[in-house]
Amino acid sequence: MIAQTTTRTAQSPPQLGKETLLHADGLRKGFTLHAQAGLHLNVLENVSLTVNRGDCVALQGPSGSGKSTLMRSLYGNYRVNAGAIWVRHQDRRADREWADREWADREWLDIACCEPHELIALRQQTLGYVSQFLRVIPRVPALQVAAEPLMEVGVSREAAEEKVRSLFTHLNLPERLWSLSPTTFSGGEKQRVNIARAFAVDRPILLLDEPTAALDAANRAAVIELIEEKKAQGCALVGIFHDDAVRTQVCNQILTFGSHY
Query: How far apart are the C-alpha atoms of 200 and 128, rounded to whole Å?
Result: 10
Query: How far apart are the C-alpha atoms of 70 and 141, rounded to whole Å?
Result: 32
Quote the pLDDT of residue 36: 77
- 10 Å CB burial of residue 70 (0-12, 13-18, 19+) is buried
Q: Percentage of residues in the chain with pLDDT exceeding 70? A: 88
Mean pLDDT within 128-157: 91
Query: How far apart are the C-alpha atoms of 133 and 190, rounded to whole Å?
Result: 8
Q: Residue 37: is its pLDDT beyond 90? A: no
Is the separation of the CB atoms in 223 and 171 below 8 Å? yes
Q: Residue 92: is its pLDDT beyond 80? A: no
Q: Percentage of residues in the chain with pLDDT exceeding 90? A: 72
Is the separation of the CB atoms in 170 and 194 below 8 Å? no
In terms of DSSP H, where are the helices of the chain? 67-75, 116-125, 142-152, 157-170, 187-200, 217-232, 244-250
Paired sense of beta strands 236-240 and 39-52, if any: unpaired
> Among the listed ranges 74-78, 218-222, 252-256, 257-261, which one has the minimum average pLDDT value?
257-261
Query: How far apart are the C-alpha atoms of 90 and 219, rounded to whole Å?
Result: 34
Q: Which string of DSSP letters, residue by residue, matches 52-114? A: ETT-EEEEE--TTSSHHHHHHHHHTSS--SEEEEEEEE----TTS--TT--GGGSEEEEGGG-
The better pLDDT of the pair 138, 216 is held by 216
Please count the CA atoms within 13 angstroms of the CA of 216 that sit on its side-chain side. 6
Query: How far apart are the C-alpha atoms of 125 and 75, rounded to whole Å?
Result: 13
Q: Residue 94: is its pLDDT beyond 90? A: no
- CA-nearest of 146, 220, 201 to 178 is 146
Quote the pLDDT of residue 202: 94
Residue 178 CA to chain centroid, in angstroms?
A: 24
The better pLDDT of the pair 13, 112 is held by 112
Mean pLDDT within 39-59: 93
